[in-house]
Every structure is written in structure tokens, then in C-alpha cells.
Amino acid sequence: MTVVLKRLITMTLPVPIRAWLRASWQDREYCPPVGSIRFGDLRRLTPVSRCWGYDRGLPIDRYYIEKFLLQYSTDIRGRVMEIGDDTYTQKFGGRVTRSDVLHVLDGNPKATIVGDLTQADHIDSNRFDCIICTQTLHLIYDTRAAIKTLYRILQPGGILLATFPGITPISHSDWPEYWCWSFTTHSARLLFGEVFPPRSVRIDTYGNVLAATAFLQGLAVAELRKEELESRDPDYEVIITVRATKPE
């Protein structure tokens, strides 16, 4: 509705109704008319970057993952296991007594444990004070079995810090034969609630429509303003995070 039309309507109405209408119109988000959207550099059939934005800076999903791990950095203590490498253990762990790295394939020089989370009987139960499992569970077809393993190998009182993608590009160059799922808050709550006591599971999401659009295009963190990154819209789940505690 144009400004002129709004003025014509409100001029014929009693004062209290005029005030109510003005307030309601101000509360509504501006919606550009059809045909007036300017896509600019984003009117393209290929993304700006196909490597998540690493070639432009810090990827947007990594911004959210690091924000989550920083929030719970005091949980990264004692004996810690991280999937793939120990980057986040080193960056956010302050009281780590031993750092282990799990990798599914042989040949990773960082790996101290080689194994599949769905078939990991060789990993002792009640072993780790903290497990960092970032951007991994969507690569595992039998996610339920993987979560059961993570629960089993945690010490009583141990904490799992996990993240996985919601709205995301799907990579056919990185782990193409493994990429199985994208998750939602609801599916994450159901999956983890089957293994961990529901009250010990905290699930959060990060992202909004702008951040999701930028991430799909492969833009980097530096290309958005802080307030644009920090705004959270539950309808646009770019990253889903889980903090789950094994009972004492």
C-alpha cells in the first residue's frame, strides 16, 4: 500500500483508529512490490564461491560454529575427542589434559583413533569428558547408531558439543559418497532425545534469510555486517547446535 493511499484512508477515520492503523503499518516489514527487486551481483546461476567462502574469508557457517564453541568453551576440558582434527580443541579448550582425534579413514596424520562412529566397539566406554563433533553427523547414514556411540564413550557427566547444517549447499567434491542428511531443530531434538535424557539436551539455531542467502552463494563473514550475522530467525536454520550431557 502506497503512502498516499494510506494517508487518504486515515484522513476519513476517527483519531483512535488512525493511530492504531499507523502503529500496525509501522510494525509490518516493508515488502517491495513485485518486479521491483534488484538482485544485483546475486542474479546468477552459479554461486560466487563453491568452496563455502573459504576463498573469500571465514565461511558464514564457521562463524556460527565458532560462536557456539566459544559459548561453551569451559566444557572443552579433561580428555577431549574431536572429529577430523584438533583445530577447535586447540582454539577453545582451556583445561585439556589429553586430546584425541577420530577419523573414519586411515591416513590422517592427526588421527589418534581410526574408526566409524556407527561401529566403534574398539573405543572404550566412559572415556571422554568432552566430544567435539562439528559438521559430521549429516555425513553418517545411520545417525542413530553414531549418537549412541557418542553417548557410550562419554564419561558420566561428559558433554557432547555437536553442530550440523540446516540450510546449506551440498558438496559433490568433499565427502560426496557420505553426504546423507540435512537436519532441523525438530529432527535433532527427536534424535538426541532418543539417547540422551531430553532435559540434558540444549538445541540452538543460528541464521536468518540474509545469512542463508549469503552462505548459499559462498560469501564470507566479512561481507555481512555483525548485526546481519547475529540476527536469528527460526525459519532460517543455517546451523543447528547441540549441547548434550551424559548423566552422572
* Per-residue pLDDT tens over the stretch 69-86: 999 999 999 999 999 999
Cβ(160)–Cβ(154) under 8 Å?
Answer: yes
List Cβ neighbours of 82 (8 Å cut-off, separation of 6 or more).
Answer: 88, 89, 99, 100, 101, 102, 131, 132, 133, 134
Cβ(133)–Cβ(161) under 8 Å?
Answer: yes
Q: Does 4 score more than 50 pLDDT?
A: no
Position 34 scores a pLDDT of: 87
Position 115 scores a pLDDT of: 94
The pTM assigned to this predicted structure is 0.86
Question: CA-based Rg of the chain, rounded to a whole angstrom?
Answer: 23
Task: Report the length, in residues, of the chain.
Answer: 248
Domains of the chain: 1-37 (no CATH), 42-245 (3.40.50.150)
* Per-residue pLDDT tens over the stretch 199-237: 999 999 999 999 999 999 999 999 999 999 999 999 999
Would you state the cell numbers that stand for residue 36, as one nine-digit string?
A: 521491483
